[in-house]
Amino acid sequence: MNEDARASWGDEPSDEALASCHQRAPGSPEGRSALARLIERWSGRAYRWAYRFTGEREQALDLAQDCMVQVIQALPRYRSQGRFSAWLFTIVHNRCLDEVRRKRPLPEPESGMDALTTPDEGPEERVDRALERDHVFAAMDRHLDENERLALWLRAYEGMSVEDITRMMQLDGASGARGLLQTARRKLRAALREEPEA
């Protein structure tokens, strides 16, 4: 168990301690109890996250169930020096992304965001593209606000639809993520024109 896990042990064991307990003896009463506690602790969050992607209770329950089953199956491989909530979140988020990608066709490549895609290419092209991508990343970091960066990232890299991004980011307004993405693209294009790659 790492020091963080020990330090956070207050009223009850930390996530990391429960995961370690389950890993040591998954079939024992203690191991099962630890697993049950982890499930109880994280099911609500998994459901909330799944709901952001589906917007509907039953679908969110099914998706959250799938997420938690993946977590349980991956638990023997969890390394206790890592932060448990971040580990679990990545599994849940990746599973939710898979689900929305499966249900909706992949978005068409974003104009001006080709640098973020990585098609099959040779070593030299890959180096060029990596440099170009770093340049785009730097421009995103300097010129876009946090919401614009996230929306653009979800669209161009995570492959989410505008509708899914609107729900995921819980954006209000008639245009939802569309307006945010248009602004982000406009700012990014202007920035890339003003700061051509060296």
- Contact between 117 and other proteins by CB under 8 A: the answer reads no
DSSP per-residue codes, 116-134: G---S--HHHHHHHHHHHH
- Contact between 140 and other proteins by CB under 8 A: the answer reads yes
Angle, nearest 10°, between helix axes 29-54 and 84-103? 40
- Contact between 174 and other proteins by CB under 8 A: the answer reads no
Please give the structure tokens belonging to residue 131: 């440099």
Which residue in 54, 100, 115, 153 binds other proteins (CB under 8 A)?
153
CA distance to 135, 166, 169, per residue, from 181 (Å): 19, 10, 12
Which residue in 101, 129, 143, 149 binds other proteins (CB under 8 A)?
149
Q: How far is the CB of 122 from other proteins (least distance, A)?
A: 20
The strand ranges marked E within 19-115 are: none
Site for other proteins in 154-173 (CB under 8 A): 154, 157-158, 170
Q: What are phi and psi of 139, to 5 degrees?
A: -65, -40
Site for other proteins in 51-110 (CB under 8 A): 51, 57-58, 60-62, 64-66, 68-69, 72-75, 78-79, 81-94
Which residue in 56, 109, 127, 138 binds other proteins (CB under 8 A)?
138
